[in-house]
Every structure is written in C-alpha cells, then in structure tokens.
Structure 1
C-alpha cells in the first residue's frame, strides 16, 4: 500500500475544527476507557481512586490531543499519560494510594496474558492458574514490587512491546526487560508456593523437589 494514500486518509490535525477533534477523540480515544480503568486499578489499587485517575488522564489527553500524531500508537500514548498522571498524583499526595481487598487485574486478562506470552509465565504459573483460587493469583500479583508489577502488567497483560512499555514507563528498554525478568521470576515463585500449600504439583516445584532428592542421595 502506498504510504501517501495512507497519509491522505488521516485527519489533518492542524486544520480540523474543535468539533471534529472532539468527535475524533470520542471515537478513537474513548474506546480505550475500559482498558485504561483496568490499568488505573492496578496502579491506584482502589476503584474510586482508579476512576479519578482515568478521568484526570482523559482530561489531560483531550487537552493534548492536538499533539497526538494520527496513525501512531494511540493506546500507548494514552497509557503514557495515565502513567504520568499517576506518578504526579502519587508525588503530590506523598502517600500510598488507598488499598482494598478488591485489588486485581481482571482474571480474563491474566489468563490471556499467560496464553499469548510464549516467553512469559508458561510452567508453574499456568498450571497454578488452572487450579488456584482467584484470590491467590491476585495476592501473588499484588505481592511483587510496583516497578516489577507494572512491567509485567504492560508487557504480559496489555501486550505492549518492550519499546512501547519503555515509552509508557519513561525508562530505558533495558530497565523494562530487567524489571520484567524479576517480576516474572517473583510471580512464578509465589504461584508455585501457593500451589504447593494446596498440594498442587507444578513444574517449578517438581524441579526443586528433584534437586533436593538428588542431593540427598
């Protein structure tokens, strides 16, 4: 396809009216509201705070929508604004956002992440997810450090590339990869522990047991 013909189909941000921009924002940006709320809930850990965070992020996104380049990754652009809004609010409050027992990434998102991430959590985690109560999975995800948790969320749950996650989080790609590795490792160990506590054998737990048995001989 000719790049010129593609560009011709994109809106001219410089000449569009306020009404056209509002219509484009409602059509394109607002379609991500549910996904942004899930991400906000991961950050704020409280439904009310998450709603406020999404509202503030969308307000900022609309004000800056003339700066967004049509045809580029709108989802990543919105997530970057959401993440920066969270960081700014967190520093302004200088306190940990409220937490409740409903802290969660949607269960279907976690299951989807496990299925589409071949380099991700494919052994103990997947087996544990099939057998463990949802509360254990949520607890394990909440137990890992925030930097690691957000890397896992953006890459494994939302499916962003390392480069996109790097742009969203405002850190180098190498940092994203390092945090993702640590986050996956921590989550894998926690899920294996939860599974073992309930008598569910996992690949990771079996390997550890085999090593222990081998060392005892």
Structure 2
C-alpha cells in the first residue's frame, strides 16, 4: 500500500518520523482550517494540502524543533495563496499524492479528527456570531487571533508562523481583540458570557471569555 513511500530504509524512517512529529497536530490544524474556511470539505482539503506539502518538505524540517509552528506556517501560507489565486489547490506529483492522502485519511479516521470545531473549543460561545465576527476581520488579524486565542500560540510562535516581528504580532492581536470585543460584546452580555459590568473595561481574549463562562456555569 505504501510501497512508494517505504521502498527504502530512509523512506521508512521519513514516514515514521513524520507520523510521530507531524500527525499529532492534525486535530489543531483542522480546527484552525475550519475557522479560516467555513466549508468543512474545503477545510479538510486545506489540511490535506498542508500535510502533503509538509511531507514533501520533511527533509528540511529539523527534528526536535517546533513542528506545530512549522505546520501552521505551511497552512497559513497555503491559505493565503488560495485566497490570492482564487482557485483550487495546486497539483503535486501524481505518484506521491495517493499514498500521502491515504496516510492522512487513515490517521484522521482512526482519531476521529474531522468533527465540528464548536464541539471542541467554543463551549458557551454561539458559533454563528463568533464566526461572523471573525469573518469580518482582515486575514492578518483573523489569523493572529485564531493562533493566540484558539490555539494558544505564544507571540514568538505566531511571529514564526506569520513571518513577522513579535511587535507586529502584539499590535495585530491587540487590534483584532478590540475589533472582536466591539462586535461580540452586545451579544455576549445578552447570553451572560460577559457580565454587563464589564462594558468599557479591559479587552479580554476569547479564551478569557470562555473561562469566565465556565466559572459561572460551575458556580450554579
């Protein structure tokens, strides 16, 4: 089945290393893709394209470094390229694609990866309102917010993913949170996610809002 990928010891070692370091990040990558592209099939395609590119470039990855940030950078760049090109993903070598796709699909099926993101991270937030607010952000602002507040990336990791200075990340994140707060505050207060007394106070992250909601639910 994987004869073309496992025809030599080096190929088997490559696949084993890829499985060990890259595959465990599929769940997080799918959640990220689902917020970048609202269509589940397109999000799955983006995950597939990301892993295909990552496997082809695996010889350039340094084992033991930040694989998660490396994969997210590939996905982010792929998404931006798709947005610019406004067309389907580029083709890869025909002899490599079926094996890689099967490898990714089998891993996803075995782990139950492809399930709605709302079930994993959104908790008390209403997904339609959140997604609408996210969609209204520019790509750079949406990306930095997703990486920081839904994927728990550090400033340094986000800078690595987006290939920009840490200061730029901090500025974009602050502005993105400000925009999201303005768009979501009214709805959040109606739902009891953010107390009405919080109007006009410090900017909170989506993660902080979610934690506030959890604490209120636990105290009931």
TM over 0.5: yes
Equivalent of 1:203 in 194, 197, 200: 197
Secondary structure of 2:63's counterpart equals coil
Alignment of 1:154-173 (within 5 A): 154-173=147-166
Contact 1:105 1:138 in 2 (8 A): no
Alignment of 1:40-189 (within 5 A): 40-93=33-86, 106=118, 108-110=120-122, 129=124, 133-189=126-182
Contact 1:192 1:204 in 2 (8 A): no
Q: State the alpha-carbon separation in 1 of the partners of residues 130 and 37 from structure 2.
A: 18
Contact 2:53 2:74 in 1 (8 A): yes
> In angstroms, what is the RMSD of aligned CA positions?
2.6
Shift of residue 73, structure 1, vs aligned partner: 0.6
Q: How many residues align?
A: 165
Indicate whether 1:20 and 2:32 are aligned. Answer: no
Structure 1 residue ranges without an equivalent (≥5) = 1-15, 96-103, 112-128, 208-217
TM-score by length of 1: 0.66
Structure 2 residue ranges without an equivalent (≥5) = 1-8, 89-115, 202-220
1:34 corresponding residue in structure 2: 27
Shift of residue 82, structure 1, vs aligned partner: 0.8
* TM-aligned CA distance change 1:19 to 1:94, over 3 Å: closer
Q: Which one has the largest radius of gyration?
A: 1
- 1:155-178 Cα offsets, whole Å, 9 max, x none, are 121111111101111222222111
Contact 2:33 2:43 in 1 (8 A): yes
